[in-house]
Amino acid sequence: MSVDIVVPEVGESIVDARVSKWLKQEGDAVNAGEPLVELETDKIDVEVSAPKAGVLESIAHGDGADVKIGEVLGTIREDGTKGTKGTKGTKGAKGAEDSEDANGTKDADETEARGREEEPKAAEHAAAAGEGQEPDEGERAASDRKAEPAGRSTGEPAATPSARRMARARDVELREVRAEGPRVTRRDVERSLEAGDTPAPAREARADRAPAAAKEARAVRAPEPGDRTETRERMSKRRATIARRLVEAQQTAAMLTTFNEVDMRAVMALRARHKARFKERYGTSLGIASFFVKATVAALRDFPRLNAEIDGDEMVLKHYYDIGIAVAAAEGLVVPVLRDADRMSFADIEGGIRDFAAKARDGKLTLDDLRGGTFSITNGGVFGSLMSTPILNPPQVGILGLHAIKDRPVGIDGQVVLRPMMYTALTYDHRIVDGAEAVQFLVRIRELVEDPATLLIES
């Protein structure tokens, strides 16, 4: 009996996906609940697991194929016998059955008996996984080796999709990476590369096994004089979606950007006084983001149309404050949301941003992390940006851009002094936000950040 492997529903707004990589090949034995294939969507990456134990009978859509929700990715044969690979496997197996002799029948019977003996073990493994009792790395590796056909044992540990992609890109053997949790994460791979834990011979052996064409494609050669080589690279689903949404934002909204600058001396002095105690007490650093989140919430209360969206000929004013924080991920910018930011402490905000950054790095952001948002903040200053014009994140009508802090000469009380200054930028939808409101909003942000004690009262 064959069981279909289908593209699962991963969210209301997601209707398609792309096959990133099959973790098993046709003919491989699989356990119930074992990851089979990685899918890439415009928001998150997901792994599709085996619905039943058996043999991966066929793959309908290979790596790089675009698929719809509910579409069949492949099939699993439950009887535990291994047929010929591909869609022609049934016909090939039938021909073999017609021509087999008594010895062949006996071998098939013995194979089927062995399959029946292994089914209780697979069921126990699946039950343990269902109860949240994930086997340790040693047990998982042993189970994987049992599930592999003779002569095909990879010993590759469980890993997140982003970790697998980085390992392939950097030519790292996942079995050589030390995982801090039950699965190897992108951070584990990065840590292994930084520490030099992955032995060079392992990487070289892997490269030797790769086809010559693949090795040549990976080779990085210094450009020769007059070299005009070009390469083409397909956009990821997330990058293509980001590109489409940015163009849509420019085509549908009347975007305008206004600028101001903030003297960061008071905030930096406050952080210097309290950062050690803050880190000791809350386990996270005191950054500048929490000050601007607090100031933004206070300013949005004064200028509510910046915390709204347009629905036809109506303005939908939001009386709650879900602040999106732009975070750089491997596949492009994502904007997870701090929900009810007006009720969050400085520690809550800093901890939330830290967790978002870790999830984005490891490819673990969920749809709930990204859904909604009434206003966004993006900090290009972490990359050294001095000034920029942020693009709206529809259907929001406002986004605040933060930039690098630089010592600049400013005039104070008739004297020129050096101060740590930051340019701020507010992009807004001019259809419902007037220029005066936008300017006053940024001035309010500046007033609150330059006197951070008022944030205790205003936010």
Read off the pLDDT of residues 8-19 as tens digits, 9 standing for 90 and up: 887 666 778 888
- 32: domain CATH number? 2.40.50.100
274 is catalytic: no
In this structure, are 341 and 437 located in the same domain? yes
In this structure, are 363 and 436 located in the same domain? yes
Instruction: Specify the higher pLDDT residue, 394 or 171.
Output: 394
In this structure, are 119 and 260 located in the same domain? no
| Distance set, CA 367 to CA 9, 13, 238 (Å) | 12, 9, 13
Please check the confidence at residue 112 and state whether its pLDDT lies above 50: no
Query: Of 107, 197, 340, 434, which is the active-site residue?
Result: 434
pLDDT, tens digit, for every residue of 219-243? 456 667 777 888 888 887 778 877 8
This model's pTM is above 0.75 = no
- Asked whether residue 27 is domain-assigned, the answer is yes
Q: Quote the CA–CA distance of 37 and 59 in Å, as a whole number.
A: 10
Token digits of residue 246: 């940015």
In this structure, are 133 and 166 located in the same domain? no
- Asked whether residue 248 is domain-assigned, the answer is no
What's the average model confidence in pLDDT over 186-203? 66
In this structure, are 183 and 53 located in the same domain? no
434 is catalytic: yes
Query: Of 79, 342, 355, 430, which is the active-site residue?
Result: 430
pLDDT, tens digit, for every residue of 414-459? 999 999 999 999 999 999 999 999 999 999 999 999 999 998 877 6
H-state helical runs in 131-176: 137-147, 161-170
Instruction: Tell me which range, 71-85, 317-331, 394-408, is most confidently predicted by mean pLDDT.
Output: 394-408
H-state helical runs in 171-264: 186-195, 200-209, 212-218, 237-252
Instruction: Specify the higher pLDDT residue, 195 or 102.
Output: 195
The last residue of a domain, from among 87, 102, 137 = 137
Tell me which long-range contacts 279-284 makes (C-beta under 8 A, separation of at least 24): 281/347, 282/347, 282/350, 282/351, 283/351, 284/347, 284/350, 284/351, 284/354
In this structure, are 336 and 414 located in the same domain? yes
- How much of the chain, in percent, has pLDDT values that exceed 90? 38
The pLDDT value given to residue 95 = 39
Domain that holds residue 197: 156-212
What's the average model confidence in pLDDT over 386-405? 95
pLDDT, tens digit, for every residue of 84-107? 444 433 333 343 344 344 444 444
In this structure, are 63 and 194 located in the same domain? no
∠ CA 20-21-25, nearest 5°, is: 150
What's the average model confidence in pLDDT over 400-426? 95
Number of domains in the chain: 3
The SS3 call for residue 235 is: coil
Residue 24 contacts by C-beta under 8 Å, 6 or more apart in sequence?
A: 30, 34, 36, 37, 56
Q: Quote the CA–CA distance of 312 and 406 in Å, as a whole number.
A: 43
pLDDT, tens digit, for every residue of 39-83? 877 767 788 888 888 888 889 888 888 888 888 888 888 865 444
Instruction: Specify the higher pLDDT residue, 294 or 58.
Output: 294
